[in-house]
Amino acid sequence: MIKQFINSIQTLCEPDRVHICDGSEEEFHALAQLLEKQGTFVRLQKRENSFYARSDPSDVARVESRTFICSENRENAGPTNNWKDPKEMKALLENLFKGCMKGRVMYVIPYAMGPKNSPYTKFGIEITDSPYVVCSMKIMARIIQIDEGKEFVLGVHSVGMPLKEGEKDVPWPCNQEKVIAHFPEAKEIWSYGSGYGGNALLGKKCFALRIGSKIAKEEGWLAEHMLIMGLTNPEGKKKYIAAAFPSSCGKTNLAMLTSSLKGWSVECVGDDIAWMHFGKDGRLYAVNPENGFFGVAPGTSEKSNPIAMKMIEKDTIFTNVAYTKEGDVWWEGMSETPPEGLIDWRGNPYKKGEKAAHLNARFTVSKKRCPIYDPLGDDPRGVPIDAIIFGGRRAALLPLVVEAYDWTEGVLMGAALSSEMTAAAEGALGDLRHDPFAMLPFCGYHMGDYFQHWLDLETQERKMPKIFSVNWFRKNEKGDYIWSGFGENVRVLKWIFNRLEGSEVGVKTALGFVPHELDTTGLKIDEKELKKLFLVDSAAYSKECKDLLGYFQTTFGERFPRNLKDALTRWQDRM
């Protein structure tokens, strides 16, 4: 079946030749040299085995407006996805892909998503004409040998720029027309026109979340846009936490947090995706299906994430950051002032007042480079999840931390998640958008059914994790952030840890429990400002509840679960 599929794509796309990838270091270096030769990669002088790439200015983020779920039944795609009839989409794709790889090599990447020998690991094949994608997939996934006995999610990707005989290639080939199509029933992914990470690295959002969430629904587990971290207290006791944040809201920083509290430490399993299954003991266990980090560079610094800064010292691909005359990379936040002679992400001399790095500039690096990579990060059983956190970027309204009263109200916290827009997706910066479970662009089926799936997971036999909501981004009347964030977030994690242990007092509010007090030892924060962080403004939140009800009813209609509607009524009644 696999060979037939590869042959059919070869016939359709008409490449010059086919290369089956083996994931070896030799293969990576050969392709890196090829990318250097064609101007896609610049080898960095200051970082060992690291490269700088600059994309076409039209190809810098996920193209959500051109991303489709092509389910047989339109209703099953739901109101949060773009839908197209599978037959119509396949006809469109066959027209786009016809001869699209002329003058190029067709690379076949067989890969595993998940730890070796894990019962939770799934397998994929990505066919691509982009050596940049091959190099990135070498980092982000585990390239394996083709095994006809395994079930593969099949993926086809093309930059959509065939080359005529003798025609010179461009450093970043892409096409103005872009389509990313998912076929849930067939378990296939087709991506055309973009060379950018989220659109082109099909193991990431496309497989791990959009197709993965549909498989998870069918098989009774969860495929989530969540980090996985281990938190250890001074006595050496450890708990694992999964946390969902919309893109560019601090997931990577939290996953690699450097604790400001003596004796408390964090270890990282993953910063973006969690596949979670219930074990025989009734507990929820999580694996990270990815093998690397595709992190947002701007804002990453020695202050915000010293672990990441150490991690990217070598063996890293940087895309759309700025380039220094010394042969290194730079972005906003790395230092107070940009270095002299800087070249911006478009390839032009940097001008003061403009952005040197694109807001969505990225680094791609193996998770094994992470200095605090968790010892159980590749355990085939996964790690036991004690708590789930939902967090958005809100300047007002949401408390610093609140614990849900029960599983249903915790699921409502996830469903009610909203955040001010960031640069990781198309849209106006700062606009508030609802982003349930941080899965709005990634849920591969009807989100009302997705909410119900979360609710259905709770049974008497299972030990459900406690659910919390956090908001690091609350501001005061002057527009300044009240909370210090970064390493100080361990103080909130400490409260969560101790709540799980039953050793920390919670104060009842309309939303749930908030801290009676937080460990602020050595932290310079005004007592009045601190109290604002835990304030639940009844009048403001009563309006929020009405807005949420309107959003849920308008968007999901009858498929919005009754249990969540009742939970929202309880919130409102308590205000």
Residue in 196, 225, 157 with CA at minimum distance from that of residue 64: 196
Where do we find the tokens 């809100």? 394
Dihedral pair phi/psi, residue 438, rounded to 5°: 55, 30
Ordered alpha helix ranges (H), 141-211: 197-200
Q: How many CB atoms lie within 10 A of CB 498?
A: 16
Strand 41-43 vs strand 51-53: parallel, antiparallel, or unpaired? antiparallel
Residue 165's beta-bridge partner residues? none
* Single-letter amino acid code for the residue at 216: A
Q: Whole-angstrom Cα distance, residue 92 to residue 84? A: 10
3-state secondary structure of 106: strand
- For the chain, the farthest-separated pair of C-alpha atoms sits apart, in whole angstroms, at 72
Give Cβ neighbours of residue 37 (< 8 Å, ≥ 6 apart). Answer: none
- Token pair 């890969």 in the structure block, residue: 111
Strands 51-53 vs 316-319: parallel, antiparallel or unpaired = parallel
Q: In whole angstroms, how far apart are CA 144 and each of 21, 95, 122, 148, 209?
A: 8, 31, 12, 12, 21
- CA 510, 513, 517, 519 torsion: positive or negative? negative
Report the distance separating Cα 247 and Cα 252, nearest Å. 10
C-alpha 466/C-alpha 498 separation (Å) is 12
Per-residue burial over 288-301, b = 16 or more CB atoms within 10 Å of its CB, e = otherwise: bbbbbbbbbbbbbb
Name the residues annotated as catalytic: 249
Distance CA 304, CA 294 (A): 17
